Amino acid sequence: MRLRNPLNGFKYAAEGVVHVFRTQRHMKFHFLIMALVLLLSLVWNLHRWEMLVLLFSISMVLVAEMFNTAVEALVDLVTQSYHPLAKFAKDIAAGAVLIAAINALAVGFLLFFGDNRWEDVPELVGVHKPTMPTIFVVAAILTMVYLIIWKVAGGKGRLLKGGVVSGHTALGFFLAATIIFLRPGIPVAAMAVAMALLIAQSRVEGKIHTIKEVVLGALLAVAVSAGIYWLLSGSR
């Protein structure tokens, strides 16, 4: 009996995220808002617990939207004709998204504008720097968001295989940029870049991506990581 690949579950889940992003207009809007809010969280210098609350609220909206899409697909599979219960199920699912979105707006308002924090933003930007864990989490999420957007817009391949941009290469160069930022120095930088190049080479040799696609993946990761690590946090 053939054993199942334990990574298949993750692969199918990732394909589900891509499918929702590709087919649902609201999901694209949620992703764009998430990217903007995460960038603002660095400017506002949110504390770690505030970042956790913010990420949890954002996740609730995305999960609710995905459940809403799943319910709509299931109802359409069962019946194509109008039925009060079918409408009832879709309305409830849509209501869940609405509640999650209102909660996220309330959380965002309290975190960004509560206690007159708006007036303190210039001082926070000029004096304080976000912590490294916060910067890393934001950079990683933004890299993933831009990667998904680029792959879906290209309309080629899947999230974990193929596509107009190499996700594995982007991950490799993102980690390399993180290592260089944390431990600056020629030997460390050389090893980090070599690791990323080996990942890119494996994608080309495996005929999964072209040279252009791995270069685009590298540029995406370097642009996001450099923009956040050096421009927002300042070089160390």
159: Cβ–Cβ under 8 A, 6 or more apart, which residues? 14, 15, 17, 18, 148, 151, 167
Catalytic residue among 50, 65, 72, 213: 65
- Taking alpha carbons only, the member of 20, 22, 89, 23 closest to residue 61 is 20
Q: Which residue has the tokens 């295989």?
A: 161
Catalytic site residue 65?
yes
Q: What secondary structure letter does DSSP report for 230?
A: I
- Taking alpha carbons only, the member of 25, 227, 77 closest to residue 138 is 227
151: Cβ–Cβ under 8 A, 6 or more apart, which residues? 18, 157, 159, 163, 164, 165, 167
Q: 103 with 53: CB under 8 angstroms?
A: no
Q: Which residues are catalytic?
A: 65
